[in-house]
Amino acid sequence: NRLKKQRYDIDDEALQEFFPLSHVCTAVFDVYQEMLGLTFHAVKGPDAAGTGILLWHEDVELYAVFDATSGQLVGHFLLDIFSRPGKFGHQCVVPLTPCYTPVAGLSRVRPVCAMLGNMTRPTADRTSLLRFAEVHTFFHEFGHVMHAVCTDVPYARLSWTWPMMPWPGGVEQDFLEVPSMMLEQFVYDEQVLRRLSRHYKEEDRSLPAETIQRIVDARHVGAGLGYRRFVAMALYDLKIHSSPPPYSFGDATGLTLRELWHRMMTEVSGCAPVADTFMPAAWYHMVIGYDAGYYGYLYSEVMAADLLGVFKEAGSLLDPTLGLAYRREILAPCASKGGLDMMRAFLKRDPSDQAFLELIGI
């Protein structure tokens, strides 16, 4: 953060003023609706909560998603984005109802999912402002929402889910993050970022062009260190899930879990852990189904960059024709097709890592 401020004059505190939660939420909705050919409608009813159905908290909002052309129902999503005591402490998307056809001849059951967050609730005298990193996360998680809602498959096992959920299915782990990682890159597009930003006191004022450019220029600050750390963690994950201790690494043998961690982080990431600490003891991903699969984040980032390149070549990330193709070839099949098959269907070629290397400046 200090490097970003010194080199690019980016002040995270000042940027927050341009990202009031209410506007960001509306703008994210607009971008996804425009790109994917969808319309969102808030579902309300006559009851005290205003929804007409039983929800688990008064903060929860329910939306129906329709195809913008045919008007047919696509699915539903719920937003539960404010922090409260006892709530799950991470941002994530939870599938509630899979997409499936119960019996031949009956209507297909449309998918339902919920987006969970821990943002600050606005009050009468205080606007909820987001850091840019939170805007980035919101855009990413809503990409998962669209993947879940746009799923169109006949069997529940092929519908969108992820390893922490109590039922099997969903896309292959290596492809789970690809759609949302592609979509999260939209926040670095000048057109999209201008729409996402609006000063909380001056509604006709969005981020200046020079500030947007600085954000784009600074996006890969420290990326080399970040990728080295990620590779070290992914290697450690694979190592400990391949055999029981003791472990060997390099010229060292007989290593405990903690000793292996310290050696791998020191030699691969270049940053030695603090003595007498053991971060994997609190490694959230290892207990929610990403064990032996943490590498998938970087793999997905490579695939996502390839998809993004198609939109860049078209000259607009919000190209509706490409958006519909993306919805049809990448989102709708979910687990009914393999990830690489979906990539080839959209790209019209085999996937490549070239777009990723260009994106990070290599």
Catalytic residues: 141
* In 26-105, beta strands by DSSP E: 38-42, 61-67, 73-82, 92-97
Q: What are phi and psi of 42, to 5 degrees?
A: -65, 135
Tell the burial category of 307 from Cβ atoms under 10 Å away from its Cβ (0-12, 13-18, 19+): buried
Q: Using CA atoms, how far apart are residues 237 and 244, in angstroms rounded to an integer?
A: 12
Two structure tokens written together for 74: 């696509």
Write out 236-290 in H/E/C secondary structure: HHHHHCCCCCCEEECCEEEECHHHHHHHHHHHHHCCCCCCCCCHHHHCHHHHCCC
Write out the two tokens for 156. 């529940």
End-to-end CA distance of the chain: 23
Integer CA distances (angstroms), 134 to 24, 141, 290, in order: 10, 10, 22
As a dihedral over the C-alpha atoms of residue 89, residue 90, residue 91, residue 97, rounded to 10 degrees, the angle is -80
The residues that bridge with 255 in the sheet, in sequence order, are 247
Q: How does DSSP classify residue 53?
A: S
Name the residue with tokens 């855009």. 139
The alpha-helical segments, DSSP class H, found in the chain are 2-8, 12-16, 21-36, 132-149, 178-184, 190-196, 209-217, 223-240, 257-264, 296-314, 320-326, 339-347, 354-359
